[in-house]
Every structure is written in structure tokens, then in C-alpha cells.
Amino acid sequence: MTAPHPRIVPQPGVMGIAPYVGGEAGAPGANRAIKLSANENPFGPSPAAVEAYRAAAGDLALYPDGGATELRRAIAAVHGLEAERIVCGAGSDEIISLLCQTYAGPGDEVVHSRHGFLMYAISARAAGATPVAAPEHDLSADVDAMLAACTERTRLVFLANPNNPTGTLIAGAEVARLAAGIPERALLVLDSAYAEYVDEPGYDPGAALVAAHDNVVMTRTFSKIHGLAALRLGWAYAPGHVVDALNRVRGPFNVSAPALAAGAAAVADGEHVARSAAANAAWRGWLAARLARAGVPCTASHGNFLLARFGEEGPASAPEADAWLKTRGLIVRRMEGYGLPGWLRISIGDEAACRAVAEAVDGFRAARA
């Protein structure tokens, strides 16, 4: 830790931020690590997206289209949305940050569920606002608790559905009840980063609620099923007044030209999305069953990862399992930062990765029984 400077002092809230720690990428000693710590697509991006990215190399001297016109048009066409209601960002992380900067400041509150995505509290603090964690029920967002956490100071309510890191999904009727129940002055942000992985009849990532309310926003990302995490690309679907405000706060060229080009190609490749979702569903089910058989239960995940319970203490605990997996070249995510020290989050890789995890966990459980 660096000592605080005597005169040059960050805005209130900034030094209260616990810096976000991303998933580790490598394991010392293991010559070929498999990274299962950041929910990336093991199949990578659509080949069409890679081609578009390469083609963009010819025009790097030129500023990108600050309005992201082509990309918004492509997203709108694929998802059946209005292009005028879309705002693009450098990852949905930037959209989350812009929403906090735009709508919350000192004295304001930002509500999220207890084990919600960490960037909500980080971005709230960065804006000087106060994050408020609502209790969950069985590691699932609890709408009554979130509504009870709202006050006249609430400006934003964040809900990831499915949630990262718990993987849990709440029913559409519950999301609608949340949208209808939050204070008039608050904006509900539905973070649908894992929408493409959801296989539940009637699931709506949020566009219908955005259309029905003037205070609901949906966020999406190209980092997960589209396999473009390195490019940093995400978007929001929002009421016109929110679009107008975000467009004033965001940088005029916040999304790079290669990201715009690759994103437009990626969103149009429905086959790549469908193939990735199908493989994920199959191997997620397979791995969850194998872990359960080994005595390691998981939450019901609707994303491209499992949240697996090893326990907090003893020879078979989550930290011990993490170390065991690491020496076998399997990098997963510790959950202390989320207040879940007895759990590990394991991204669903390809078949070889899932089989390697199952075998390593079997070996671990046998050795530590």
C-alpha cells in the first residue's frame, strides 16, 4: 500500500474502494494452464469477428465513429430493438461506471444484492455514492429485500440475472415486481451479461421492461458468449432520456474502431452463439453432476460457470482445492472478495477442460477424505 499524499487527495469514496481483482491467468510451475477464472468463451470469437478486427488494422490512424452507428444498427437488427436506444461502451463495466457517474453522487445510495457483481459497489464508491447490499435468499437475489433496501436516497438498483458469481436466476415476474416497486427517482439496471446462456422458457433479458418503464436499463456484453473480452465492448438499452444523459458523460470515442467492427460481425453470427450456448449447457450439466458425485454441490447456474461449495476450513476447503487445481494447471476463481470463502467459481471450458476439472476434483476429494 502506498501512503496517502498529504495534499493531493482523491474524491470522497475513492480510497474506500477495494480494487477489483480479475481472474488469474497462469499457474507457476504448470507448463500449460487452463484459465477457468474469468468466464471467457473457450471457443473464442466468431471467425467473422476476427476477420473484421484484422481488416480494421488498415485504418488505425482514423478516429472511430463516436456514434457507433453500424454496431448499434447490427445489435438492433439481431435483437429486434430500436438503435436509438442503444449506447455502446468499453465493456459493460464502462456502462456500469457511466450510470453511477451520471445518476449517483455523495449522499446517494446504490442498491445491489449481497453477492451481486462487484463492479456495482466499486463504481458506486468511485462516484462518491454509498453502495447498499440487500440480503439474498439461498444465494439468489431477493426482490423483497432489495425493495426494502431502497430509500428516498436510492438512485440506482443493480440486478444481474443470471447473477455472477452465484449463477442464480430469478423469475421474470420477480424482475417485473422489482421494476414496478423501486422508488420513482431510482433507475433499475438489469445486467444481462449471461443472457445468451439462459435456457429458461419465458426468460427476457430486459428489453421488454425497458420498453414498458421509463426507469429501467438493460446492459449486455461482448465479453462472454461473443468471446471478445480482450476488445472491451458492451452496450446499454435504455429509455431516451437515459441515452441522452449517458451520451453527454461518455467519452466521444469510448469504443475503438476494431471493437466496433468485430462487434458488428460477432452479433450477426447467430450460429456461433448457438453453438457456444449448446456446448456450455451440455458441459455445465455434466460437470455439475460430476462435482455433486464427488461431494461438491453447486448452485443452479444459468451462466457459463459453476459456483462450487468446498467449505471454508479443513483439508478439503476451497483454498485447499484451489491450490490442488492450480498445481494441475487449472486456474479457477477464489470467492473471498465476494464474501463466499468456502466456494470456488469454475468457468465452463471445453470438453477437455471440464474433464480435467472433474478428474482433479475426484483426486482431491479422494486424497482429503
Ligand X SMILES: *Cc1c(COP(=O)(O)O)cnc(C)c1O
Vertex 214: Cα angle to 208 and 215 (nearest 5): 95
User: Binding of ligand X at residue 117 (CB under 6 A)?
Assistant: yes
Distance of alpha carbon 232 from alpha carbon 222, whole angstroms: 8
| Chain centroid offset of residue 111 CA | 17
Amino acid (1-letter code) at residue 116: G
User: Which residue's Cβ has the minimum distance to ligand X?
Assistant: 91
Beta bridge partners of 216: 188
Choosing from 109, 136, 142, 191, the residue that interacts with ligand X (CB under 6 A) is 191
Of 232-251, which residues contact ligand X (CB under 6 A)?
234
Least distance to ligand X, CB of residue 152, Å: 27
Out of 229, 277, 281, 300, the residue judged to bind ligand X by CB under 6 A: 229
Residues in binding contact with ligand X, number by CB under 6 A = 13
Q: How many CA atoms lie within 13 A of 127 on its CB side?
A: 27
**Shortest reach from residue 27's CB to ligand X, in Å:** 22
Contact map string, positions 300 to 339, toward ligand X, x by CB under 6 A: ----------------------------------------
| Residue 48 burial (C-beta neighbours within 10 Å; 0-12, 13-18, 19+) | middle
Sign of CA dihedral 336, 340, 341, 344: negative
> Which one of residues 33, 193, 266, 357 is an interface residue with ligand X (CB under 6 A)?
193
CB of 12 to ligand X, least distance (A): 25
CA pair distance 171, 142, nearest whole angstrom: 11
CA 32 to chain CA centroid, nearest Å: 26
Site string for ligand X, 128-167 (x = CB under 6 A): --------------------------------x---x---
- In the window 50-109, what residues touch ligand X (CB under 6 A)? 91-93
**Residue 224 Cβ, how far from ligand X at the closest point, in Å?**
6
Q: Which run of H or E residues covers position 77?
A: helix 69-79
Contact footprint for ligand X (CB under 6 A)? 91-93, 117, 160, 164, 191, 193, 221, 223-224, 229, 234
